[in-house]
Amino acid sequence: MSLQSSNFGKVAVLQGGASAEREVSLMSGAGVLQALRSQGIDAHAFDPAERDLADLRREGFARCFIALHGRFGEDGTVQGALELLGIPYTGSGVMASAISMDKVMTKRIWRFEGLSTPAWSQVHNAEETRAAFQTLGAPMIVKPAREGSTIGLSKVTAIDQCAAAYALASEHDPHVLCEQFIAGDEVTCPVLGSAHAPRALPLIRIVAPDGNYDYQNKYFTDTTQYLVPAGLPAGEEEAIQALVCKAYSVLGCRGWARADVMIDARTRTPYLLEINTAPGMTSHSLVPMSAKAAGMPYDALCVHLLQSATTDARDTE
């Protein structure tokens, strides 16, 4: 074991969990665990759905790599527990994690800060969903406000689809978001570093079958194209990277995140959709793909993220 590896102490890779994204989290965790062990780090899988988080302290874990996705892992709850346990963890702190998980709160802050994001309405029933459709126009996206991986998402093109779209989204979250659909290029941009000194990695342009970048096409098929370099017109990538870094900073993110952006095909205006503070680390995941394009292989990325582990109490940046 190298001196650098031993300095990390005993590391827990938090994976699985109780969210709708458990399956993806287990895949992310398996990849991270293998990568850390390959670098001589004393890393162990830890599933909070099957074990008490207090075991982390009892068993002498010095750091946690959060490979949990969705609620109870990406929403500030696990981060808060680790703060109380005094164990450094990867990614954003309690407040930034909680805000970023809630797409409505995220959009309110971005809009307040003058950052472009599609028009939206939060709805509580099918009738309000139909009213939102009349305001936002067709097509309209309906999705849970606090889920990821396109779970519970519908693209509504006619008013008679609103009730079913609301019902699907509300199965996953009582807070439902209706959002203006932006037609154009879909890109994603990972960010590393502190809120005060974020560093954007290369953009990835996503070309999904029939433009349908859903849960299946994200994780379980090989038909979606991921283009890096993204092949955007001159200057566009740099402008989007700057936008995403600002979006990351105003939310107070740290460690890493990945923001999804739509580029209006007509005006070439980029619109922020959402930000993920515990992005996927599977074989199909985009942060490792972008990092590799920037010269940082998967194993090195995992070690870099683990090195950045801290707590709100210790974060002095």
Catalytic annotation, residues: 21, 149, 219, 258, 260, 274, 276, 280
Q: Report the candidate in 16, 23, 69, 72 with the shortest Cα–Cα distance to residue 47.
A: 16
The residue written with tokens 């850390």 in the block is 36
Buried b (16+ CB within 10 A) or exposed e, 178-204: bbbebebbbbbbbbbbbbeebebbbbb
Rounded Cα gap, residues 90 and 64, in angstroms? 7
Q: 70 with 20: CB under 8 angstroms?
A: yes
Terminal-to-terminal C-alpha distance of the chain: 30
Q: Report the candidate in 47, 56, 45 with the shortest Cα–Cα distance to residue 13.
A: 45
- Within 10 A of 38 (CB to CB), how many other CB atoms are there? 13
